[in-house]
Each structure stands twice: as structure tokens, then as C-alpha cells.
Amino acid sequence: MATAVLCGQLLVGWTNDFLDADRDLASGRVDKPVATGRVPRAEVRNAAVVAFILVVPLSFLAGLWAGVAHLIAVFMATAYNFGLKRTPYSVVPYVVAFGLVPAFITLGPPITHTPPLWATAAAGLLGAGAHFTQTLPDIARERIAGVRGLPQLLGQKVSAVVGPVILAAAAVCVALGPAHPKPVLFVGLAVAVVLFIGIVGLAAMNRLELAFRLTLVSGGIVVVTLLAAGVSL
């Protein structure tokens, strides 16, 4: 599972840098080695092909249906790179890819059962929140570059609120979903709600950079609480 996820993430990351090299260069992204020419594009393309060749058999080594779940997630993430990121449906690949993570885990041996609905919902919401969080610092630049994903259409201030709202909803699913929830889950929910209130206040005051950083913390809290609830999967 670890090697399959690694190859899937490398495929997604490398195709993103390869496809967006011209846009990153035009936007002045000096942190992108492909855009600045420090890494040849052909080299990144070939590496992505290798990652694609490896991710298929590695995914199925985790089990047939686990492999199907992971490959669908990788396909959706790659489809985002190939064009969905520039449409109002940009959040869909995040919801699907993240939402399938619990299935990838539980459908493979030795557990082999479908994940509980609360775990799938929490993971999907976490993915949606991650989408708004990830794009928040670059919304203005990407709108100029012609990217019209959902966060860009909503704008920076609205997205600064929508992201933590979705993450808070994910925290609710984690805290209330398990049949026998642990106290730590409610602590995580309380922290997420407090952070959400702070993020909304910062967004209203146009402190978007600080709101973005708090949103990252909020997402981390949700991940930690989801891991704490993992024994209930």
C-alpha cells in the first residue's frame, strides 16, 4: 500500500509540474524546477510514465478491490491535472480521491470490508477542504492565468471561509461517526470549531495569509482525529 501510494503521488505531482510548466513560468514560480529549466521536461515526463507503469501492479498487490479503489483515486487526481482544475468541477477529484482512501485501506487484507460511511464522508470532506486550502494563496494569480476552478470562481475571501467550514464538517463526521467514539475525537472537533471561528474572523479582517495558515492547522487536526478513530474502521 505504501509503495502504491508513493507511486501514485509521484505520478500526480510530476504530471502537474509537466503540464503546468509554461503557466508556472509565466507566473514567475521560481520554486518550480521544471518551469525554471533546472529539470528537463522530458525527464519529468519519463519519470511520470515509470510511476504510472508501477502504480498499477502495486495497487493490485493490495487486493483486487483495494487496487481498483486506489487506481480510481489516482485517475481522478490526474484528471484534475489534465483539465478539471480549470473548471467549476475542480473540487470533484479531491472529494473522490480522498473519499476512496478508507476503501483502499479496508478492502485490502487482512481487514477486507467496506469502510463505514462516516469515514468515507470525512475523507471526502477533508479532500474538498484541502482543495480550497491548497489554492487559497494562489487564487488571484491563477485567475489572471485563466484558471477557473471553483475556488477561483468564488474568490479568495469566500474560499477562505468555505475551506474551514468543510474541514469542520469533516471533524464532525469523525467525532460523531464511530459507534463508540473516543474522547480525543471530541477534543479534535472542539479545536477545529475554535480554529474555524478564528479563520472566519481573520478572513473578515482581510488577514488571508494568517487565515490560510490556520486552515492548514485545522486540516492537520482533522487528519489526526481521523487517525485516532482509525481503529474503528
Say what the pLDDT of residue 205 is.
81
Q: What is the pLDDT of residue 229?
A: 66
Query: What is the Cβ-side half-sphere exposure of residue 190, based on CA atoms within 13 angstroms?
Result: 5
pLDDT of 138 reads 74
71 neighbors 53 (Cβ within 8 angstroms): no
Q: How far apart are CA 80 and CA 69, in angstroms?
A: 17
Residue in 219, 34, 222 with CA at minimum distance from that of residue 118: 222
CATH topology classification for 62-232: Four Helix Bundle (Hemerythrin (Met), subunit A) (1.20.120)
pLDDT in tens, the chain (233 residues): 999 999 999 999 999 999 888 877 776 777 788 888 888 999 999 999 999 999 999 999 999 999 999 999 999 999 999 989 889 999 999 999 999 999 998 998 877 889 999 989 999 998 998 898 888 777 766 666 677 889 888 888 888 888 888 988 888 888 888 877 777 777 877 887 888 888 878 877 877 778 778 877 887 887 787 777 665 66
Of the candidates 79, 77, 11, the residue with the CA atom closest to the CA atom of residue 45:
11
Q: What is the pLDDT of residue 230?
A: 62
Helices (H) and strands (E) in the chain, counts: 13, 0
Ranges of CATH 1.20.120.1780 domains, the chain? 62-232
Cα–Cα distance for residue pair 202/220, rounded to 1 Å: 19
Alpha carbons 219 and 123: distance in angstroms, whole number: 11
How far apart CA 222 and CA 142 sit, in angstroms, is: 27
- State the Cα–Cα distance between residues 128 and 137, nearest whole angstrom: 16
The secondary element (H helix, E strand) that includes residue 29 is: none
Q: What is the pLDDT of residue 193?
A: 81
Q: Are 5 and 13 in contact (CB under 8 A)?
A: no
3-state secondary structure at position 183: helix
Q: What pLDDT is recorded for position 148?
A: 84
The upper half-sphere exposure of residue 227, i.e. CA atoms within 13 Å in the direction of its Cβ, equals: 6
